Amino acid sequence: MALEVEMKRPRYLPTAAFLATAHLLLALSTLLISHSLAMGRFDSAGNISQAESLARALTDTLFWPVSHVQTKGLSAALQWAAVLGNSILWGSVLAVPVWRLGRSLSGKVPASNDAFEWPGKHRGPRLITESRG
């Protein structure tokens, strides 16, 4: 029995692109807010507020892991490439559970890995097409 494969555009890529764009906008927004609050505190010579602490923590989290990469001495284009790459990384990683959840809710993926059976020691999985009754 031959298995037919539908050639559809993968839904993972649009999900990853959307999440990467959302991450980039959120990361740049928190950076702007954090910087604005820090400059306001600098001008008034006050103490750090809870809002600034939260904005700083969010910025540090959203710019991780690129915040630990040494970017001094790099051109502005390379620094922006690092920020964009960071958002693509976050979007790609966050898209996996979202995409997987969407596929399992739509019934395209079995709830467990019971659909595959390992027949031998060195052979790959074999798709079980008959019901196990």
Percent of all residues in the chain with a pLDDT value above 70, rounded to a whole number: 72
Q: Tell me the CB-side half-sphere exposure of residue 24, using CA atoms within 13 A.
A: 18
Task: State yes or no: pLDDT of 125 exceeds 60.
Answer: no
- Whole-model pTM: value is 0.65
What is the per-residue pLDDT for 24?
95
Q: Can you point out the beta strands (E) in the chain?
A: 116-117, 126-127
42-70 tens-digit pLDDT: 777 777 788 888 888 888 888 888 877 77
- Do residues 31 and 48 touch, judged by C-beta distance below 8 A? no
pLDDT of 33 strictly over 80 = yes
Average pLDDT, the chain: 76
Among 72, 65, 71, which Cα is nearest to 86's? 65
- Output the pLDDT for position 8: 47
